C-alpha cells in the first residue's frame, strides 16, 4: 500500500460497457502508487486501442519507479514523461496503421510519491474527485467546448451538464499532437476518498449522488459497484469506469 508510515491507500477499479455500447473503449489501472482512467475515442475500435496505449504508458512508469527503488521523485514530472511517451506511441501506431487515424483518448492519473503527496495529470473530460470532511471537490477541469464557454461566462454552469455538445473535446491525447496535460500537486489527508472516472458516470450521476456514495460506502469496491450501478440505472449511455481510493491513517 502507499504509505507515509501510518498512511495506507486502499483502492478498487471497475469498468462496465454500459447499456448502449457494444464495446468498452475505456481502460484503467490501479496499484498502491498509481491510479488512472482513460476513455478512448475513434472509429474501427481505435478508441479501445488509444486508451490501452495510454494505460500501457502509465503501467510502464509504475514499473520503472519500482525498479528505481525508494528514491525521491517529482510526481508531476514523471506523469508528464509518461503521457509524452503515450502520445509518441499513439503516433507510431497511426503511422503503422493509417486506419487508426483520428484515434485519441482522455487520461486522468494520480501518482503518489510514497508519502502523503500526489501528482495529478489530466487531459480530456474524464474526472478526478476528492471527498474530504463530507465535501466533494472536482480536482480536474473538463477540456470541453462547453466548459470553455462556462469559463468565458458565455454559458451558465447549471446548463453545462445537459448541453448537447458537452462531450465535444478541445483537448485530448491524440496521435500527431503534443501532449498538453494539466499537472497539479496535492497533499492527501487521512480520511480522504478519491474517485477517477470516465464521463460514462458523470454524464448520468449528479455530484450529490457521487458524494453520497463515497461518503457511505465502507470499502472502495462497494463504492465502485454502486457508482457503476447508478450510471446503468440512468440508462448507461456510455462505458463506465471508476477507480476509487481511500486514504487511511
Confidence of residue 93 (pLDDT cuts 50, 70, 90): very high
Angle between helix 46-68 and 75-96 (nearest 10)? 140
- Give the lowest-confidence range in 65-69, 188-192, 229-233: 65-69
First and final CA of the chain: distance in angstroms? Answer: 12
- Residue 199 contacts by C-beta under 8 Å, 6 or more apart in sequence? 39, 106, 125, 126, 127, 167, 238
Confirm whether 2 is domain-assigned: no
Least confident of 2-6, 149-153, 155-159, 184-188: 2-6
- Average pLDDT in the chain: 92
CA distances from 143 to 75, 140, 242 (A): 22, 9, 19
Residue 1 lies in a domain: no
Q: Is the pLDDT of residue 2 over 50?
A: no
Cell of 229: 450501478
Phi, psi of 128 (to 5 degrees): -125, 135
Q: What is the mean pLDDT of residues 69-87?
A: 92
Instruction: Report d(CA 181, CA 120) in Å as an integer.
Output: 10
Among residues 75, 17, 70, which one has the least CA distance to residue 48? 17
Confirm whether 114 is domain-assigned.
Answer: yes
Structural domain count of the chain: 1
pLDDT of residue 159: 77
Whether residue 3 lies inside any domain: the answer is: no
pLDDT (0 to 100) of residue 43: 65
Mean pLDDT of 57-75: 90
Quick check: 4 pLDDT over 80? Answer: no
Asked if 24 and 246 count as a contact pair (C-beta separation under 8 A), the reply is no
pLDDT of residue 6: 59
Q: What nine digits make up the cell of 128?
A: 478526478
Domain that includes residue 221, residue range: 8-248
State residue 130's pLDDT score: 98
Q: For the CA atoms of the chain, what is the radius of gyration?
A: 17
What is the H or E stretch that residue 224 is in?
Answer: helix 220-233
Host H or E run for residue 102: none
**Percentage above 70 pLDDT, the chain:** 96
Alpha carbons 242 and 139: distance in angstroms, whole number: 15
Summarised one tens digit per residue, pLDDT across range 201-215 is 999 999 999 999 999
Task: Give the residue-averaged pLDDT of 222-247.
Answer: 97
Residues 219-238, mean pLDDT to the nearest whole number = 97
Q: Is the pLDDT of residue 44 over 70?
A: no
What cell was used for 24?
468498452
Mean pLDDT of 101-118: 93
List, as one string, the DSSP characters of 125-168.
Answer: S-EEEEEETTEEEE-S---BHHHHHHHTTSS-HHHHTT-TTTT-
pLDDT(1) > 60: no
Q: In CATH, what number is assigned to the domain containing residue 88? A: 3.60.40.10
Task: Indicate if the pLDDT at residue 247 is higher than 70.
Answer: yes
240 part of a folded domain:
yes
Report yes or no on 230 lying in a domain. Answer: yes
Residue 164: the pLDDT is 76
% of the chain with per-residue pLDDT over 90: 78
Amino acid at each position: 500500500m502507499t504509505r507515509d508510515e501510518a498512511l495506507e491507500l486502499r483502492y478498487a477499479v471497475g469498468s462496465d460497457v454500459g447499456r448502449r455500447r457494444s464495446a468498452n473503449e475505456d481502460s484503467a489501472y490501479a496499484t498502491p502508487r498509481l491510479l488512472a482512467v482513460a476513455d478512448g475515442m475513434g472509429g474501427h475500435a481505435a478508441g479501445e486501442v488509444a486508451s490501452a496505449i495510454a494505460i500501457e504508458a502509465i503501467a510502464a512508469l509504475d514499473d520503472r519507479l519500482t525498479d528505481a527503488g525508494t528514491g525521491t521523485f517529482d510526481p508531476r514530472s514523471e506523469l508528464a514523461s509518461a503521457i509524452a511517451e503515450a502520445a509518441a506511441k499513439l503516433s507510431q501506431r497511426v503511422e503503422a496503421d493509417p486506419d487508426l487515424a483520428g484515434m485519441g483518448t482522455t487520461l486522468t492519473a494520480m501518482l503518489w510519491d510514497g508519502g502523503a503527496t500526489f501528482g495529478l495529470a489530466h487531459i480530456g473530460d474524464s474526472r478526478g474527485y476528492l471527498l474530504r470532511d463530507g465535501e466533494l471537490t472536482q480536482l480536474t477541469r473538463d477540456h470541453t467546448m462547453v466548459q470553455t464557454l462556462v469559463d468565458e461566462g458565455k454559458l451558465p454552469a447549471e446548463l453545462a451538464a445537459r448541453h448537447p455538445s458537452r462531450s465535444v473535446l478541445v483537448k485530448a491525447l491524440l496521435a500527431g499532437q503534443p501532449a498538453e496535460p494539466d499537472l497539479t500537486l496535492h497533499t492527501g489527508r487521512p480520511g480522504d476518498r478519491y474517485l477517477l472516472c470516465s464521463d460514462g458516470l458523470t454524464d448520468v450521476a449528479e455530484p450529490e449522488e457521487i458524494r453520497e456514495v463515497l461518503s457511505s460506502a465502507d470499502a472502495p469496491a462497494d463504492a465502485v459497484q454502486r457508482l457503476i450501478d447508478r450510471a446503468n440505472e440512468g440508462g448507461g449511455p456510455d462505458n463506465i469506469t471508476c477507480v476509487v481510493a481511500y486514504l487511511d491513517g
